[in-house]
Amino acid sequence: MNFKLIFSFLCLSSLSQILPMDQFPCKENILGLPVNLGKSVLVAVIIPENFKMIQSEPSPLMEFIPKTETPDKWSHIISTQIFMGSNLTAEFMMNHIKYVVVPNGVTNIKLLEEFKENKDSYSVAYFAVAYTKNGRREVLFAKYFSGPYDCSGIQYTIAIKDPMTDEAALKIMKEYIEKNVQIV
């Protein structure tokens, strides 16, 4: 693996050696996140075509919002994080976000779901939480993957507007993750 593969948006043809062509229907906006480079394990993430990256260039933390929105006023935000060589675990990241990041300045916190599992060459942990921040209801779904040295993850947050419920937002996020985030 090289730096460009890990941090760049990839065309599907660039991934044809490791992904069956029919698994990912879109032709661009695929991001590879390292999980266990020693065993060539990556997380492939398809960013929706109608989303734009907030940062000016790829970095270990990248955030994506709908193209018609601004970083200060978004309805959906997808974030990816890469911790290469960090020895962080997926469970540690889940707990860090759940107990340190989320409670900072929020009220009405409700844990919606939580899961963790150790696989042969990687671990996975995810959780979903609803909360109110600055008078706005949001639902966050975070899923992290880790190998012995590397940890990467995706977070998807939706700002809730009536009549949407926390559970309806969670369903949207889980469907996106199931369809567009895969171990390769």
Position 75 in a domain:
yes
Q: Tell me: pLDDT of 25 over 50.
A: no
Q: Tell me how many domains the chain contains.
A: 1
CA angle 21, 25, 28 (to 5 degrees): 95
pTM as predicted: 0.82
Position 7 in a domain:
no
Position 28 in a domain:
no
CATH at 67: 3.40.1000.10
Position 68 in a domain:
yes
Averaged pLDDT for residues 124-151: 94
For residue 15, what pLDDT is reported? 37
Question: Between 91 and 102, whose confidence is greater?
Answer: 91
For residue 18, what pLDDT is reported? 38
Position 173 in a domain:
yes
- Per-residue confidence at 28, pLDDT binned at 50, 70, 90? low
Structural domain span for residue 85: 50-179
